[in-house]
Structure 1
């Protein structure tokens, strides 16, 4: 029992230390040099959530587009990637989940196509970074007093919680028939800090971020 109590105190201490450092340890996406649309991206000073720090947007009437082509999700190989020590299998799992999730969400708005045609979009998604959730500590940090307060504030601010995974990616949207760039952005997505379910499993938070990113994309194209 004594050893068990000491372990709990060590975990709590680690959580408190993480809370102290979390404000200065958040990693933000960059203008990835290997992304085709990178020269067109501009910093978005209005993005207070830090979810879309760089973007490009042309004047587009999205209602004229009825179909969409979703290219296979690619895993970014550039030297400025932000995967940290994420394993190759985890990257592949996230890319596969992103493909399935974005395809499912796009079907709610478009007919998915395979060949370029008028009134058709082409979307290219590139997985550029991510992090796994720290097991056990992520969940416990939602329940101790300091962690609960910190994560509650982060939830209100729309920011990240403690010891939680995330995903980073680039979206490029073209007119399929002309190859004209219509919109592009890089994004970082993560779950609400008080989403306890997303703190279980090493990739659960990153996958929740993909879910949110897919919803956000389709909302932009309505």
Structure 2
């Protein structure tokens, strides 16, 4: 596909803006979540994930069951939903997150309804989401100007150009004592070269939720 010099300049400006946005939208220790006072900068953060966290060094082998609270949507002033994410979009993402996280946890734990010894209670808060920019997100994975940047972003484990994302907080309690065992905030997004995730306004955010579910389970092994 060929584009004019003017169009090329506009695309480069858009790319620069997108990269700037990626650098300025990292998760926060959201003031409105219950574990906010526990969260600290995470020295073990990998490639920018879980920049704020708390852990009690719990023995996860003691736990064989889980209770999953309904996913809540964060309304604090420090939320990170972009202007094009509607209330309906938030509800859709929260419902999807509930299902994906429960399905993933059931690979390791038995789902429970009441607090008991050996049971975790997991509370997830959807704190932000960024929509995928229609057409341009796909275009930058095909165009010779965008592909090298997306390739570098993929190698670095960073966001692709004009692709959506999801931000959230996870709080894990001992269900029988209500003691906080672990908490963290995170931001997830698809691989920068994932073409499929560029289709649909919420496609990339949902792929981020899938990765977030994988990350949660891995952290409880």
* Counterpart contact for 1:52–1:187, Cα < 8 Å: yes
Counterpart Cα distance in 2 of 1:61 and 1:218:
14
User: How big is the shift at 1:40?
Assistant: 0.4
- 1:73 corresponds, among 71, 74, 93, to 71
Q: CA deviation at 1:137?
A: 0.5
List, as ranges, runs of 4+ consecutive aligned residues in structure 1 with deviation greater than 4 Å: 8-13
Matched, 1:29 2:2: no
Task: Note the alpha carbon deviations across 1:67-124, whole angstroms, 9 max, x for none.
Answer: 0000000000111111121110100000000001001101101000010000000000
Structure 2 unaligned regions, length at least 5:
none
What is the aligned length?
218
Q: Are 2:214 and 1:212 aligned?
A: no
Q: CA RMSD in A?
A: 1.7
Question: Is there any run of 5+ residues in structure 1 with no aligned partner, and where?
Answer: none
Residues 173-192 of structure 1 mapped to structure 2, 5 A cutoff: 173-192=172-191
Alignment partner of 1:91: what SS? helix
Q: TM-score, normalised by structure 1?
A: 0.93
Measure the CA separation in 2 of the matches of 1:72 and 1:19.
37
In the other structure, the counterpart of 1:42 is: 40
Which structure shows the bigger proportion of residues in helix conformation?
Answer: 1
The 1:154–1:221 alpha-carbon spacing in structure 2 relative to 1, beyond 3 Å, is same
TM-score by length of 2: 0.94
